[in-house]
Structure formats: structure tokens, C-alpha cells
Amino acid sequence: MNYVRIYEAFIADRRAREADLLASGVYVERHHIKPRSMGGGDKAENIIALTPEDHIRAHGLLGAAFPVMWTAVTYLAGRHEHLKLPATKRERALYALAKKKQAHHMRQHPPM
């Protein structure tokens, strides 16, 4: 499965809906389309407003495409847990998967 292509299509879809999302006044989070850890910057074209659920999904897709990104998924999901934001069954499952993938990645690539 080509997770990079799926991620790009997901971002393109959310970019097309972004103006309506911002106009709705709901809580949104800023997402770096190309993560800073992968060379992405803070320029407007690299930032997109996403719902918390879509933000976690975006990081889940990044984690599937680039295993090192599972750390960001666990951080993001843990931050949501700390803020007491409602977690859907899908978000909880993604968080559990992210923790497992992060642990596997850390075993394969221990910190120096």
C-alpha cells in the first residue's frame, strides 16, 4: 500500500475543505504537511488546519509511510489524552497501534 500517496490525497482533500472548516469556528489544530523533522518549515503552504481527529489520522498515515513518525503519533495522541479531548474508538486504536509501532521502531533503532 502506498501510504505516501494516500497521505497526499488526504491532505489535498482536507485543503479543499479548509476554508469551510475555518469558517465553521470549530476547534482546529495546525499540522505541518511536511513534518519539521523531515525538513518542512513553518511557511503557510506547509501548514494546514485540521480537526483533532484528522490531525491524528494525518500522523497515522505519516507513521505508516515513515516508521520514525510513530513517535509523533504517540505524542499527539498522548497530548490529546492530557487535554481530555474526547477520543473515539478509532483514535484509541490508532494510539495503541502507534505505541506498538514506536516500541518496535525503538528496538530496531535504539537512541545513541
pLDDT digit string, tens, across residues 54-107: 888 898 888 888 877 766 666 666 655 544 445 566 666 666 666 667 667 667
Residue 11 CA to residue 58 CA, distance in Å, equals 8
Q: Would the pLDDT of 49 be above 80? A: yes
The answer to whether 49 and 28 have CB atoms below 8 angstroms apart is yes
28 Cα distance to chain centroid: 13
Which helix or strand (DSSP H or E) is residue 95 part of?
A: helix 89-108
CA dihedral 85, 94, 70, 40 (to 10 degrees): -60
Strands of 1-112 (E only): list them: 29-32, 47-50
